[in-house]
Each structure stands twice: as structure tokens, then as C-alpha cells.
Amino acid sequence: MPFKNTVEGYVYEAGYETSNGLPCDEVITPSSNMAQVASMAFDAIIVGAGFTGLTFRYVEVLRKREGKVLFENADRALGWRGFIDGAIEEGTRVAFDVHKELAASPVTKANL
């Protein structure tokens, strides 16, 4: 995986343990200010089509929080797995989790 394990979790590094994946039409290259963007409180990371069975095999692991990262994926939805309804369901779940954390923080409580 192109992620390096650090004390704060995993950090993306271009070229770190990369391998060829599935063929695709486009590739998104991280911007030059990736370190600055990665330091934000909550980042959205979109991972495209993975290897068959990978998401299913690690569904419970991927649902868990990893440092400041909360994952969302339509394939882990409790209702409509793999459909847009599942993506909306999981996105809503993660949004509520983030809201609860921010509401509990004395720093952000006044701004909600």
C-alpha cells in the first residue's frame, strides 16, 4: 500500500510500496501540498475500485476509526450494500459520528 505507518496513523507517500492495480481510465495524483492538507482535522479520502473481495474480507476492520480518519463505503452499509442508498447511509453515519465528536470538543462546541 502507498501508506507509511507513523505515530499518527498512516500517511500517503507517492511511490511507497506501490504496485500495479486494476486498469483504470484516470489517476488522481496528490497535490504538492499534501502534507499541509493531511494535517486538517478531518480529511475525505476516496478510494476507487479495489481488489475483488478485499472490502468484504476486511469490512469490520474498515468500519473502525483509524486515528483522525473515519471510513465510509457503500459496500459496508447495513441496508443497500453496493448501491447509492448504501453510500448515503454510510456517509450519514460517519457525518453523525464527526458531529458528535465536534460537539463534545470544547474548542468547536461554540462554533456549532
Q: Are 44 and 31 in contact (CB under 8 A)?
A: no
Residue 83 in this model has a pLDDT that exceeds 80: no
| Grid cell listed for 95 | 457525518
Domain that holds residue 82: 3-109
pLDDT tens, residue by residue, 60-77: 776 777 777 777 767 667
- Count of other CB atoms within 10 angstroms of residue 72: 22
Give the number of residues written for the chain: 112
What CA–CA distances, in Å, run from 46 to 7, 69, 73, 74, 89? 22, 12, 9, 12, 16
pLDDT computed for residue 64 by the predictor: 73
Q: Are 55 and 64 in contact (CB under 8 A)?
A: no
Give how many domains the chain has, as a whole number: 1
Question: Over the chain, what is the mean pLDDT?
Answer: 66
For residue 40, the one-letter residue type is M
Residue 95 in this model has a pLDDT that exceeds 80: yes
